[in-house]
Homo-oligomer: A and B are copies of this chain.
Amino acid sequence: MTLKEIAEMAGVSAATVSYVLNNTAPVSAETREKIEKIIKETGYRSNILAKSLRKNETRLIGILVEDITVWHTALIIDGINEIAEAKGYNTILYNLRLLSKIQSQFDHLADFQKDIDKAMDVMIGMQTEGIIYVGMHDRKIIPAIQEMGKPIVYCYCYAESENSCVRYSNEETVYQITKILIENGHKNFGVINGLEGSEPAALRFEGFKRALAEAGITLNPENTACGGWKYHGGFEAAKKMLQKNNFPSAIVAMNDEMAVGVYDAAKEVGLRIPEDVSITGFDNAEIIQHLSPRIMTAERPLQKMGHSAAEILLEHINGKIKEARNIILPCKIIKGDSVSFRK
C-alpha cells in the first residue's frame, strides 16, 4: 500500500494525501476525512525509506555497541532509547559481538577493523544523523572509526579529544567511600585492586589513596593486593590480610565480585562483618543483592549515561554545541550495613 494508491482510492492527488499525513498544507475537512478513513481502513503506513530519502533527514541515530551481553550495555541502550523516543528519533542497533569473537578468533585487530567497517557501512548507509559508541570496558578506544562528518559520542569509553564522551566517576566515588570509612574511625586499611592495567582500577585506587592522604593515614603495603576483579582474587587476598594479628579494620574491594570473596574470607577466618571488619564494594552488582549484611557499594549511573550520551548527540546533531564534551557522571553510594563505627 503506497501513498499513491491511497490517493487514487480517494480520488485526489498524492500531494493532498501527503498534506493530510504531515499537516503541511490546509486541506478541506471533507477531503481530509475521506483520506483519513481510507488510511485507517487500509492500515497504510508511510514508507520511511522513501520519506527520508526525499527529505534528506532520517531522525535516526545509530547505537554501536561492542557487546550487548555485557551487563551495562543494555541499561545504557535503554537510557538512549528513552531520550530518543522522547525527541522523536529512531535508533538502529549494531552489535559488534566482540566478546564471543575475541574468545574464538586469533588476530583481533584485523577482524575488529573489518567489523567496525561493516558497522559503519550500515550506520552511514542508513543515513544515521549521529552515532553513539558503547564500550564493553571503560577504556580508550583505538580510533578505528574514521571521520564520517557526523557527530559521534562515546559512552562507557572514550577516544580522541575531538569526540564527546560520557563516563562515570571512578576516582571520586572511591574517594567518597574511603572518606566514609575514615569518618567512621577506620585507620587500618586493606585494599583489593582490580585488574592490573585497567584504567578504572587505576582511577579507583587513586581515589582511595587521595582520601587516605587527606586524612594523613598511611597504608601498610602488606594490605594492598590485586584481586583481578574476580571472586577468588578477593577471597585469597582478604584471607591473607585477615589472618594476621593486626588485620585491617576495613577492606575496600574495588568491585562487588571481589567483595563477596572478602565476605567469604572473613567468614572463613571467623570474623564478623561489620563488627570485626568493615567491607565495601563497587558496582551494586546482582551478586550482592542478598548478601548479609548488605554491603556498602556504589551504583554506576548507567541509564543516566545513556540519557546524557543521547542528549549530547542530539545537541551535536542540531548544531547546538560544537566542541566536544567530556562528561563524568557521579555514582550513587549505597550505604548498606557493612561498615562499623570505630573507637
Binding site for B on A (CB under 8 A): 43, 45-53, 58, 63, 67-69, 73-75, 77-78, 81-82, 85, 90-95, 97, 100, 120-122, 124-127, 146, 148, 231, 257, 260-261, 264, 285-287, 289-290, 292
Contact = CB atoms under 8 A, between A and B. Distances in A.
Contacts of A120: 45
Contact of A69 (B75, B122, B289): B75
Nearest to A289: B287
Nearest to A303: B69
Contacts of A124: 45
A285 B47 CA distance: 42
A87 to B, nearest CB: 14
Given A91-B93, A93-B92, A290-B260, A68 B81 contact: yes
A95 B81 contact: yes
A95 B68 contact: no
Contacts of A122: 48, 90
A289 B63 CA distance: 31
Given A68-B74, A286-B286, A290-B261, A48 B93 contact: no
- How many of these chains are in the complex? 2
27 contacts: A45-B124, A46-B125, A47-B53, A47-B125, A48-B127, A49-B53, A49-B125, A63-B93, A67-B78, A68-B77, A68-B78, A68-B81, A69-B74, A69-B75, A73-B74, A78-B95, A82-B97, A82-B100, A90-B92, A90-B94, A92-B92, A93-B93, A257-B290, A261-B290, A264-B292, A286-B286, A287-B289
A154 to B, nearest CB: 20
A154 B94 CA distance: 21
Nearest to A146: B43
A260 to B, nearest CB: 6
Given A69-B78, A78-B68, A290-B287, A48 B125 contact: yes
A231 B290 contact: yes
A82 B97 CA distance: 8
Contacts of A63: 93
Please indicate which of the listed interface residues A120, A125, A260 has the most CB atoms of chain B within 10 Å of its own CB: A125
Contacts of A231: 289-290
Contact of A47 (B78, B127, B264, B290): B127
A241 B266 CA distance: 30
A225 to B, nearest CB: 18
A77 B95 CA distance: 9
A324 to B, nearest CB: 21
A116 to B, nearest CB: 13
A153 B340 CA distance: 54
Nearest to A77: B68
A155 to B, nearest CB: 15
A69 to B, nearest CB: 5
**Best-surrounded residue of A45, A50, A77, A285 (most CB of chain B within 10 A):** A45
Nearest to A48: B125
